[in-house]
Amino acid sequence: MIAKKLRLGNFPTRIERLEKFSTIVKEHVYIKRDDQTGTEFSGNKIRKLEYSINEAINNDCDTLITCGGIQSNHARATAAAGIKLGLKSVLVLRSDEKPELEGNYLIDKIMGADVRIISSEDYRERRQEIMENILKELEAKGRKGYIIPEGASNGVGTFGYLACFKEILEQEKEHGIVFDTIVTAVGSGGTFAGLYLGNKLTNSGKKIVGINVCDTAEYFKERVSEILEEVKTYIPDTEFEISKDDMCIIDGYVGDGYAVSRTEELDFICDFAEAEGIILDPVYTGKAMRGLYTEIKKGTFKDSKNILFIHTGGLFGLFSKRNQFGF
């Protein structure tokens, strides 16, 4: 049985043609505005959280526990969604220095989230252990926590982008167009997993392309496979094959590291905004759209007729980069 969801985000999100960008790259490129899912929720995370938090409520949990970087869009969306539903949130955020009160972190604090700052090393090696200790801490106080992994990228969260894929199919009918290629940034694997699964289950024959903004393509192929194996526990009567060989994830656009921006990446965000009036973020969509631009120029998408890029949000992350722009 497919997992059930809450209704929190503003769906369906619009699809727009990127007129000037399409002219520049000489391809038909469109964008799905998942950055417009809601102000506090803004971005792709709320699609996954609608399923994850529903599971938490069904298990009588009163507190959401999750993790991410200090400017995590997912953590901010979790805190906002929790408030709407009467749930507390504990956010385990990664930072090796005292963070500036800006961007997503500022919003976390405004919303009253319980923020726990840990080092990059602890985050890498011990974040699951740390969240499980918080679970025990809550239990000792008579509360019940629910752990949501980084990016809500797990089995139940994947249904968010399975639903998004079906939403796209409906919009194709409305617009009278077929998108043969769908492109998304890959940062924890859940969005790509959901689109990949939707393509499989509907036999749509589209090319789902991920552009990783951290780690490597091989890492994410393995991670997506793990997520999809977990999905099978929710839909045991639905058969589908998982093959890393037919997962298309393009490496080469991580730059100097996750959430670390190069001048040319920020310049691209500015150029794109001037051309289209759409703001990309520095962590995910800025790098992924720049990757799409570069790969089109290299001929990677020469067989694609209509390309749809998923704008996964992240606007608030720009404010932490304010001193890196050359204005």
The Cα 88–Cα 79 span in angstroms is 7
Is residue 311 within 8 A of residue 35, CB to CB? The reply is: yes
The Cα 78–Cα 13 span in angstroms is 20
Position 263, amino acid? T
Position 248, amino acid? C
For residue 67, which of 121, 117, 104 has the smallest C-alpha distance? Answer: 117
Total H helices, total E strands in the chain: 10, 10
The Cα 145–Cα 61 span in angstroms is 5
Is residue 66 within 8 A of residue 188, CB to CB? The reply is: no
Is residue 208 within 8 A of residue 197, CB to CB? The reply is: no
For residue 143, which of 82, 62, 87 has the smallest C-alpha distance? Answer: 62
Whether residue 72 lies in the annotated active site: yes
DSSP state of 315: G
Residues 6+ apart with CB under 8 A from 90: 63, 64, 65, 66, 113, 114, 116, 134, 138, 145
Q: Which residue in the list 22, 42, 52, 72 is annotated as catalytic? A: 72
The Cα 64–Cα 70 span in angstroms is 17
Is residue 89 within 8 A of residue 78, CB to CB? The reply is: yes
Residue 102 phi/psi, 5-degree rounding, is -155, 165
Question: Could you give the residue numbers annotated as active site?
Answer: 72
